[in-house]
Amino acid sequence: MSGKVTPLPRAQDRIERDGGGAAPAPPARPERRDRVGPARWAADLAMGARLAVAGGRESWARTLLTAVGVGLGVGLLLFATSVPHLVSARQDRNNARSYGSSYSNDLKPGPHTLRLGWGHTTFHGTDISGLLLAPEGDKPPVPPGLDRIPAPGEMVVSPALKELLAAGDSGLLRQRLDDKIVGTIGDEGLSGPNELMYYAGVDPEAIAESNARLDHWGNDSPPGELDPILLMLIVVGCVVLLLPVVIFIATAVRFGGERRDRRLAALRLVGADSHMTRRIAAGEALAGAVLGLAVGWGVFLLVRQFIEGITVFDTSFFASDLKPSPALATLIALAVPACAVVVTLFALRGIAIEPLGVVRSATPKRRRLWWRLVLPLLGLALLLPLIGQSGHGSGATYQVAAGAVLMLVGITALLPWLVEAVVQRFGSGPVPWQLATRRLQLSSGSASRAVSGITVAVAGAIAIQMLFAAARHDSTSPTGQDPTRADVSAQVSVDTGAQARDAIARYAHTKGVRQALGLAEASVSDPRSKVKDPSDVPTGNLMVGDCATLKEFARIGDCRDGDVFVTEPGEYDDETYFTKPGARVNLSFDKDYNADRDKPRLWTIPRSAPVVPIKRDPAGGERSGILATPGAFDIADLDNASVQVLLRLDPKVPDAIEYARNTAARLSPQMDIYQLWGTSESKEFQTIERGLFIGASATLLLIGASMIVSMLEQLRDRKKLLSVLVAFGTRRSTLGWSVLWQTAIPVVLGLALSVAGGIALGAILLKLVDEPVAVDWASVTSMTGIGAGVILLVTLVSMGPLWRMMRPEGLRTE
């Protein structure tokens, strides 16, 4: 017997010999990955792209779902890249019209000077900015957005204010701003299209009490440094808002994965090897991502057209300000397709696509935990060294951002492992429970990916809320005002005592005013002073009001009209405090508010005047000096007096405060009236809070829309299975509950993980800014509830498509 071995005939030879026709033969030797060049990659990616757009209805449906999902994320990323230009454009316009560093009390009047007054007011809770302009020469500086200074009695308003004044329910505001409107402020003079602002021309005498003059517009002073905790809020806020977008884009490119893998198995039958099928699959995802870029630009341009009609927290934006950064837009255009290719190759790494099918339904390999723990540990390694440092530079800011990203990504990476570890322990139960848990046991990855975005968002939101609580505490300061004693404080400058009495009477007779406590105040000087410079003569306060009013400024016992009181020295009084019982004071002052010693008007404080302790008034101030009732001192004898009126409003009159503001406008064009509050917040904190609220709203809308798209993709992928179950007699309510359970289990686990991760991240961030660790459980509960509510809403929305997919037509196939 010969030792020669006869080779077996090839499959193609057997087919041709048996008359079976030609069949493609596999390559003689497997193609090695290291021999695949750029040309081969390009050809395979192009083939995948052709299959995505020309592979039939299923391919088109999957490509469109991917494009919509990617497009939503890209649109939000484009808005994010527009933020730097938006902020800088608003800041440039605000700086150009600013007068903070250009006006001066020492500037002498001249042909290029302009006297400035303030006419800010509020209408129905909305602030209205106003400036009163009085030129002192023929070449005054014109603010941006105006072509000339309005003449006295004229007003130039913003388009939004003009529209508000024309509204039917703005009659009280029209009474207050009753000047003739002669034009509108141009865009270059406004921070946003919906800003409420006006410039009014007045006579110089109308704002004579204002010494503010300017000879140019613009703010040249550099911005101050931001508080570390506010900077931390901005950094973490950007991470939290953008990371769910990136995760969703990575999830969107995996839509329809199971059907795609079955199509790839057919390619194996015609000779494609496993590496080639992965490249073709990456080409399909690449086509969907490229189409998603176009959809994202479309979403961005569409929303950009309507952005000027949106106002949030009195903040609006010009459409021209929304310009994506060219460098960042280019990065998005390159990163999104690259992300699609990388994610697809990584997802197919654990799937065996064979000519006869896809090995996916077998018991999956247990997920590894160690590398998922590495990510949050790396984040901790970046954040912990910064604890205890006195200051954080730009490098530390990037380090904080990187640490926060790693911790949040680590939470996302832990979710699939946690879902798998928990559902594997589920056993028997009702039919909907068994359907849901069995599906999760076979394929928990898609369910985990669907809720990964909300998990990251909730974890980040909890960390931000913890920072917000600390930042609000640091940025909120007590005003010393007592809203329980008075609702409104009004300040009016008057020239004579008669005007003071008239101002108090007008407020008292204003509609909606329940009580008006008026205090007329003027300065008195020490006639015994021997100093040469009149401006250095010690001065004090003389305040005139009825007994009810005086008791709001000092701790007075019995009081009758005709009584006089002297307060104890105040916090800032020194040894020159001369207003004591029996002392003589000079009531006369010149036009420069200096004591007039040439024509003194002397008045003696009664020796019987009791000395009383100072009491903080409802507006938060403390006034030391002489307190006199009208029967003891005539208001008409005061020089350069001012009037403070404390108003108690009638809560039964809806627009009581608006009537009071109108009274103030009739008394003084500067309308010095303000509502009393117990605390005040810094402007920086309010700006950051508004920005994060706007970004969080957009991110939450994206997450909800993305989850709806993801849920529809999963239902479409199981359309035939659902129809088969209904055909075998399964009740639709059973399938509906199974879908709810299948969504609820990963959500509950994801929210539990996000609460733990968010509290841990928030605690570390609080330590970075030297704040005590405190958990706001109300905020944690609200954030968790919002996340659960989004999931519940998405599930309810998916019930309609689920019912339609359970029809017998779902059994048809091509």
Element (H, E) at 273: none
Residue 26 belongs to a domain: no
pLDDT of residue 689: 66
pLDDT of residue 30 exceeding 90: no
Give this prediction's pTM: 0.69
| Calpha distance 799→805 (Å, rounded) | 10
CA 30 vs. chain centroid, Å, equals: 56
Residues 450 and 502 in one domain: no
Element (H, E) at 756: helix 732-768
**Report for 131-140, 345-354, 446-455, 635-644: range of highest mean pLDDT:** 131-140
Domain boundary among the residues 182, 214, 246 is at 214
Residues 697 and 584 in one domain: no
Closest CA relative to residue 145, chosen from 181, 182, 188: 188
Residues 275 and 152 in one domain: no
Of the listed ranges 113-117, 449-453, 494-498, the one predicted with least confidence:
449-453
Domain boundary among the residues 650, 677, 704 is at 677
Residue 94 belongs to a domain: no
pLDDT of residue 532 exceeding 60: yes
Residues 280 and 367 in one domain: yes
Residues 549 and 645 in one domain: yes
| Calpha distance 559→5 (Å, rounded) | 129
Q: Please tell me the total count of domains within the chain.
A: 3
Residues 237 and 350 in one domain: yes
In single-letter form, the type of residue at position 232 comes to M
Residues 516 and 582 in one domain: yes
Q: For residue 447, what are its two tokens?
A: 């369910």
pLDDT of residue 393: 53
- For 326-347, what is the mean pLDDT? 86
| Calpha distance 573→568 (Å, rounded) | 9
pLDDT of residue 134 exceeding 70: yes
**Choice between 356 and 569, residue whose per-residue pLDDT is larger:** 569
Residue 255 belongs to a domain: yes
Residue 186 belongs to a domain: yes
Residue 20 belongs to a domain: no
Closest CA relative to residue 128, chosen from 176, 187, 181, 186: 176
Element (H, E) at 587: none
- DSSP 8-state secondary structure symbol assigned to residue 674: E
Question: DSSP assignment of 54-75, as one string?
Answer: HS-HHHHHHHHHHHHHHHHHHH
Q: At what angle do helices 274-306 and 326-347 cross, to 10 degrees?
A: 140
Residues 444 and 326 in one domain: yes
Q: Which residues contact 206 (CB under 8 A, 6 or more apart)?
A: 117, 132, 134, 152, 669
Per-residue confidence at 652, pLDDT binned at 50, 70, 90? very high
Of the listed ranges 124-128, 258-262, 386-390, the one predicted with least confidence:
258-262
**Choice between 807 and 663, residue whose per-residue pLDDT is larger:** 663
| β-bridge partners, 790 | none
Residues 366 and 274 in one domain: yes
487-514 burial, b at 16+ Cβ within 10 Å, e below that, comes to bbbbbbbbeebebbbebbebbbebebbe
CA 65 vs. chain centroid, Å, equals: 30
Residue 92 belongs to a domain: no
- For 56-82, what is the mean pLDDT? 80
Q: Which residues contact 178 (CB under 8 A, 6 or more apart)?
A: none
| Calpha distance 515→545 (Å, rounded) | 14
| Calpha distance 138→148 (Å, rounded) | 11
3-state SS class at 627: strand
pLDDT tens digits for 599-637?
888 999 999 999 999 998 888 888 899 999 999 998 888
CA–CA–CA angle 700, 706, 708 (5° rounding): 105
Of the listed ranges 148-162, 388-402, 476-490, 513-527, the one predicted with least confidence:
388-402
CA 453 vs. chain centroid, Å, equals: 19
pLDDT of residue 368: 81
Asked whether the beta carbons of 152 and 201 are under 8 A apart, the reply is yes
pLDDT of residue 753 exceeding 60: yes
φ, ψ for residue 804, nearest 5 deg: -70, -35
Residue 748 belongs to a domain: yes
Element (H, E) at 544: strand 539-544
Long-range contacts of 19-26 (CB under 8 A, 24+ apart): 24/269, 24/270, 24/271, 25/271, 26/271, 26/273
Domain that holds residue 509: 488-677
- The dihedral over CA atoms of 257, 258, 259, 262, expressed in degrees to the nearest 10, equals 120
Residues 615 and 725 in one domain: no
pLDDT tens digits for 337-372?
888 888 888 777 766 666 655 554 445 567 788 888
Per-residue confidence at 550, pLDDT binned at 50, 70, 90? very high
Paired sense of beta strands 611-612 and 513-525, if any: unpaired
Q: For residue 241, what are its two tokens?
A: 């808002």
Q: Which residues contact 100 (CB under 8 A, 6 or more apart)?
A: 219, 221
566 CB-contact burial (10 Å; exposed 0-12 / middle 13-18 / buried 19+): buried
Residues 615 and 727 in one domain: no
Residues 377 and 403 in one domain: yes
| Calpha distance 194→270 (Å, rounded) | 63
157 CB-contact burial (10 Å; exposed 0-12 / middle 13-18 / buried 19+): buried
In single-letter form, the type of residue at position 389 comes to Q
pLDDT of residue 775 exceeding 50: yes
| Calpha distance 308→772 (Å, rounded) | 41
- For 223-243, what is the mean pLDDT? 67
Residue 43 belongs to a domain: yes
pLDDT of residue 144 exceeding 90: yes
Domain boundary among the residues 620, 653, 677 is at 677
Q: For residue 198, what are its two tokens?
A: 């006006």
- For 713-728, what is the mean pLDDT? 72
